[in-house]
Amino acid sequence: MNPQIPTQATFIYRRKWNAAMDTLLLSTVIKLRTGSRSNDDYLTDTVLNEACKVINLHFATEITCADTVSRLELLRVRCQTFNEVVSTPGVRWDLDEKLIVADDATWKFIFRTNPLAEAYYYRDEPEYSRLTTMFGLHDVKKEKKVITISDTTELIVITDSLVPYAPTRGKHVPSPADPDEVNSPFIDPLHWFTGSFLMSHRPILTKCRQAWLVELLEAWIQLGTCQ
Please state the domain extents for the chain. 8-225
Cα distances from 187 to residues 37, 113, 167, 177, in angstroms, run 41, 9, 28, 19
Cα distances from 5 to residues 29, 116, 205, in angstroms, run 32, 11, 32
List the chain pLDDT tens, one digit each, 227 residues: 566 899 999 999 977 899 999 999 999 999 998 766 555 567 888 999 999 999 999 998 999 999 999 999 999 999 999 999 999 999 999 999 999 999 999 999 999 999 899 999 999 999 999 999 999 865 454 443 333 333 443 333 333 433 444 444 444 444 455 444 444 444 333 333 333 333 443 443 334 444 445 555 555 545 544 44
Give the separation between CA 205 and CA 208, rounded to whole angstroms. Answer: 7
